Structure 1
Amino acid sequence: MSLHQQTAAPSQAPSRGWQMPDTLVIIFFVAFAAALLTYFVPIGSFQTQEITYVVDGVEKSRDVVNPGSFQFALDDAGEPLTQPVGLFEGGGGVGFLNFAFEGLTSGSKWGSAIGVIMFMLVIGGSFGVVMATGTIDNGILRLIDKTRGNEKLFIPALFTLFSLGGAVFGMGEEAIAFAIIICPLMIRMGYDGMTTVMVTYVATQVGFASSWMNPFGVAIAQGIAGVPVLSGTEVRLPMWMGFTLMGILFTMRYASRIQKTPELSYSYHSDAHFREQQSNSSLESRFNLGDWLVLAAIAGTIFWVVWGVVAHAWFIPEIASQFFTMGIIVGIIGVVFRLNGMNMNTIARSFKQGAATMIEPAVLVGCASGILLLLGGGKATEPSVLNTILNAAGQGIGQLPDVVSAWFMYLFQSVFNFFVTSGTGQAALTMPLMAPLADIVGVSRQVAVLAFQLGDGFTNILVPTSASLMATLGVCRVDWGDWVKFIWRFMLMLVAGSSVMVIGGHVLGFA
């Protein structure tokens, strides 16, 4: 149980039964298992090759794995070499006891882990300033008052919009910022943190996984597989509608139950933080020009970011900078209009407090990234245990009957996503192997792409190595263990639906 949960419910007696381990405990033991693998699994590497493909009439190129180039690293006797991870490694190496630090400092500003962690801190700080103005709280009260009786329309509307964002431009990290605003709204309406995560982050991943045009997932996978980019829309568009409807119905059914009996919420204890904030805040019946300007700054930033992502492929550094700018503008508006008595010091304190709320998920993101480092990293050209596992999986799938091979492609992509959660990175590593393998076993390359996108996208809803998931759970103050207790039923539905799509696509000749 996390610190904020203990604070929220001090009167609860400790349970003597089995409890879900803390997320950090789970990550630690997964890291331990990864370290053990290095003692038994030899390391190997691939060579890469450059391929070209066309997206929206523009020719693009990418370095991908050469599927026939895998080689084990050999020792002096010519035997496959293992590279056991030591207890500790100096000189910047990765040992078991320094996997956490190495994970926290890995990557670059363009991605996991350090880039994502800094993104989380900047986003958290900026929205800390927004929340300090009181505009969001006052706006939520006015919104609820004007939409009384129609609250349930928020769930299908939000879920559809976020799913569309995931499908059209690969929305994922952006959901974190929205969740900061939407979570207090949901709890005011009688829902909970779980509902917030569903209508924001989960919705984006439903759209991402079932998309017909996502430029960072299906488009890249099709280009690598040699399939016409953005083909198969006649199958994928109805698939997106079906999975989105599934998510809406699941969320609405849960939300309706929680609204009637709040104590049934899986995050009832951690939602106490938001309930206490609402009960302790002295909200005025205030909504003046300053509040409207704050909302305009938020809306303008969101539209500006969406435009930048779509038109200029903005990613973590650009998006973080836009939200930081928003925090400054909102802070100035708060001082000028004296919103909640704000001054320059209030802006600084609010930014630091907002960033502080992101520390817990940031630590989890970094430690999870350390697991990949223990397995040798995600580079195909550098000898690693992960490359050996990738090659062995491809060979194993190739020995199965065609229908079973199609399903195992989906299963493999789902499991592999635990280690490489980037859709683009996973496509570059796995599709060069899966595409020719599909030809050998009699599965169409379009079905192989389908297996990739469904396996890659949906498991982002569950795996603790997903930085965006952990960040969204963090801002909603939902513990990952509680999330697993809640989401496993929906995950089973997604697995069943994905299996039907992959097997059905093969049987019906989707090509």
Structure 2
Amino acid sequence: MPDTLVIIFFVALAAALLTYIIPTGSFQTQEVSYLTEGIEKSRSVIDPSSFAYALDDKGEPQLAPVGLFEGNGGAGFFNFAFEGLVSGSKWGSAIGVIMFMLVIGGSFGVVMATGTIDNGILKLIDKTRGNEALFIPVIFVLFSLGGAVFGMGEEAIAFAIIICPLMIRLGYDGITTVMVTYVATQIGFASSWMNPFSVAIAQSIADVPVLSGSGVRVVMWGGFTLMALAFTLRYANKVKRDPEYSFSYHSDAHFRESQSKASLDCRFNLGDILVLMTIVATLVWVIWGVVSQAWFIPEIASQFFTMGIVIGIIGVVFKLNAMKINDIAISFKQGAATMLEPCILVGCAAGILILLGNGGPSEPSVLNTILNSAGNLIGQLPDALSAWFMLIFQTVFNFFVTSGSGQAALTMPLMAPLADLVGVTRQVSVLAFQLGDGFSNALVPTSASLMATLGVCRVDWGDWLKFIWRFMLALFVLSSVVVVGAHYLGFS
């Protein structure tokens, strides 16, 4: 399997070639209001009837082929890596996510330098010997709930840093860690009954009562969570019986080697207790901030940076691993350095979208043309087939727009009226959106959170693809049954 960066390069090449074939187009936008948690908000969405091709001097649809190089800040093919790395803002992909990864990587570098995690894992295993099998179900369900209730996603990266060494010490692997953290959040995200970043926005745009259909979605969440948990447990148990069965066995060597070098005297003193208390307090504080104060990347990164400083001071005062003041800075830099590879992948993946036109719906782009063409195709299909094709479209389109709220703003103004035309309820169109958007986040390399979680667990995306494709196929089949079944049952 080629390296992840090689795969991204050829995907970028394919995106560049599309610009020589597909003309650019744009939509007009309009403001819609919606309620979330009792607060009225507004969002700019496309007017589905306003699509128009950009025309050349002859009045023909205009192509905007990407050149090899572009000056003056343009996006040529060989500019895509740099442009992707610096795209976005502190609020999101790519530069915001990259800086977030560097800060939490550095902070947890300080945590790991104290030795508390290694010794705490040994102590935990010793105290819970015989009950290790409970870790995976409990952690998976909690993360799935996090995704369902408050749209947890990026937060899983920080948890994965802590959980991965524990999983490997218990006899599992890095892939199991990705499943119980990030993938679990996306199971909850996709099947949620109240996610403010997907269901609430999509229902508002589709003019469906916000949080309606919750009873059906709660049952759906339970079913998908149990299915994913069963798949995870089956794989994890195989790895525990035969470690070389693991798809990430070679990359897990880093954690096995670091654990073999760790002190086996299981030091655990007041300093270690204070370090763990600081970590737990930070995680609880961050979850509270996300749920009640709508914290996002900048605020979360600041809390983890503060945690790193506090834990560094504790390490120096209690001489954990003979830590000194300079060791705080050294371990922070080393922790941040481990994030370099996933940061590059996140930036390059963002560059692919820039090649296709990253200017939004009101600026001519290939992406807008693809969106309009898909809508026209779906509008000509029979009702049940239209519902299924909505799911397929949302799944594929998530490769280009991995933001749940962003995809809702782009696609739901188009899908909701189409649903009326072909005899599909708007509630079913929202269902197709949330399942297609959420589940594919666990596969597409353009998902910054997925690539970051794989990075901290040292799992190559190629190895991840070899592992996850069967699970993704099963999810898609079950999602298809749910969407088509909901249509026939008149879910509204």
Which TM class, normalised by the smaller chain length?
over 0.9
Give yes or no for the alignment of 1:259 onto 2:240.
Answer: yes
Query: In the aligned structure 2, how far is the partner of 1:457 from the partner of 1:147?
Result: 34
Query: In the aligned structure 1, how far is the partner of 2:404 from the partner of 2:311?
Result: 34
Partner of 1:198: 179
Give yes or no for the alignment of 1:461 onto 2:442.
Answer: yes
SS in 1 for 2:357: coil
What CA RMSD, in Å, does the superposition of the two structures yield over aligned residues? 0.7
Query: In the aligned structure 1, how far is the partner of 2:311 from the partner of 2:20?
Result: 54
Query: In the aligned structure 1, how far is the partner of 2:8 from the partner of 2:259?
Result: 34
2:4–2:460 Cα contact (<8 Å) kept: yes
Query: Where do residues 153-192 of structure 1 align in structure 2 (5 Å cutoff)?
Result: 153-192=134-173
Partner of 1:98: 79
Alpha-carbon offset, residue 282 of structure 1 = 2.2
Partner of 2:29: 48
1:410–1:452 Cα contact (<8 Å) kept: yes
For structure 1, the residue ranges without an aligned partner over 5 or more in a row are 1-19
Give yes or no for the alignment of 1:64 onto 2:39.
Answer: no
Alpha-carbon offset, residue 47 of structure 1 = 0.6
Give yes or no for the alignment of 1:125 onto 2:106.
Answer: yes
Partner of 2:262: 281
Query: In the aligned structure 2, how far is the partner of 1:285 from the partner of 1:410?
Result: 51
Partner of 2:54: 73
Alpha-carbon offset, residue 401 of structure 1 = 0.4
Query: In the aligned structure 1, how far is the partner of 2:460 from the partner of 2:40?
Result: 44
- What amino acid does structure 2 have at the position aligned with 1:78? G
- What amino acid does structure 1 have at the position aligned with 2:367? L
Query: In the aligned structure 2, how far is the partner of 1:119 from the partner of 1:283?
Result: 33
Please point out which of 28, 49, 59 is paired with 2:9. 28
Percent of aligned pairs with the same amino acid: 78
For structure 2, the residue ranges without an aligned partner over 5 or more in a row are none
1:378–1:420 Cα contact (<8 Å) kept: no
Give yes or no for the alignment of 1:430 onto 2:411.
Answer: yes
Query: Where do residues 444-483 of structure 1 align in structure 2 (5 Å cutoff)?
Result: 444-483=425-464
Cα deviation, 1:54-89, whole Å, max 9, x if unaligned, reads 122221111111111111111111111111111100
Partner of 2:296: 315
Partner of 1:13: none
- What amino acid does structure 1 have at the position aligned with 2:78? L
1:45–1:70 Cα contact (<8 Å) kept: yes
Give yes or no for the alignment of 1:326 onto 2:307.
Answer: yes
Query: In the aligned structure 2, how far is the partner of 1:32 from the partner of 1:356?
Result: 28
- What amino acid does structure 1 have at the position aligned with 2:215? E
2:119–2:263 Cα contact (<8 Å) kept: no
Partner of 1:409: 390
Query: In the aligned structure 2, how far is the partner of 1:109 from the partner of 1:146?
Result: 42
Partner of 2:198: 217
1:99–1:374 Cα contact (<8 Å) kept: yes
Query: In the aligned structure 1, how far is the partner of 2:104 from the partner of 2:485?
Result: 42
Cα deviation, 1:154-199, whole Å, max 9, x if unaligned, reads 0000000000000000000000000000000000000000100000
Query: In the aligned structure 1, how far is the partner of 2:125 from the partner of 2:421?
Result: 58
Alpha-carbon offset, residue 489 of structure 1 = 1.1
Please point out which of 457, 469, 472 is paired with 1:491. 472
Cα deviation, 1:7-28, whole Å, max 9, x if unaligned, reads xxxxxxxxxxxxx111111111
Query: In the aligned structure 2, how far is the partner of 1:53 from the partner of 1:273?
Result: 48
2:24–2:54 Cα contact (<8 Å) kept: yes
SS in 2 for 1:61: strand
Query: In the aligned structure 1, how far is the partner of 2:172 from the partner of 2:266?
Result: 23
1:378–1:386 Cα contact (<8 Å) kept: no
Give the structure-2-normalised TM-score: 0.99
Query: In the aligned structure 2, how far is the partner of 1:432 from the partner of 1:292?
Result: 52
Give yes or no for the alignment of 1:86 onto 2:67.
Answer: yes
Alpha-carbon offset, residue 262 of structure 1 = 0.6
Query: In the aligned structure 2, how far is the partner of 1:461 from the partner of 1:57?
Result: 31
1:186–1:192 Cα contact (<8 Å) kept: yes
Cα deviation, 1:249-287, whole Å, max 9, x if unaligned, reads 111111111111111111110111100001112243321
Partner of 2:343: 362
Query: In the aligned structure 1, how far is the partner of 2:265 from the partner of 2:245?
Result: 31
1:137–1:283 Cα contact (<8 Å) kept: no
SS in 1 for 2:48: coil
Q: Aligned residue pairs: how many?
A: 492
Partner of 2:319: 338
Structure-2 change in CA distance of 1:79 and 1:475 (3 Å): same
Query: In the aligned structure 1, how far is the partner of 2:368 from the partner of 2:471?
Result: 31
SS in 2 for 1:458: helix
Cα deviation, 1:330-383, whole Å, max 9, x if unaligned, reads 000100111111111111111111111111011011001001100011500111
Partner of 1:114: 95
1:372–1:378 Cα contact (<8 Å) kept: no
Give yes or no for the alignment of 1:250 onto 2:234.
Answer: no
Alpha-carbon offset, residue 289 of structure 1 = 1.1
SS in 1 for 2:226: helix
1:365–1:465 Cα contact (<8 Å) kept: yes
Partner of 1:9: none
Which shows bigger deviation, 206-215 or 370-379? 370-379
- What amino acid does structure 1 have at the position aligned with 2:464? W
Query: In the aligned structure 2, how far is the partner of 1:117 from the partner of 1:55?
Result: 29
Please point out which of 117, 122, 136 is paired with 2:117. 136
- What amino acid does structure 2 have at the position aligned with 1:294? V
Alpha-carbon offset, residue 469 of structure 1 = 0.4
Give the structure-1-normalised TM-score: 0.96
Query: In the aligned structure 2, how far is the partner of 1:85 from the partner of 1:486?
Result: 34
Partner of 1:148: 129
- What amino acid does structure 2 have at the position aligned with 1:147? T
2:120–2:266 Cα contact (<8 Å) kept: no
Please point out which of 470, 475, 481 is paired with 1:500. 481
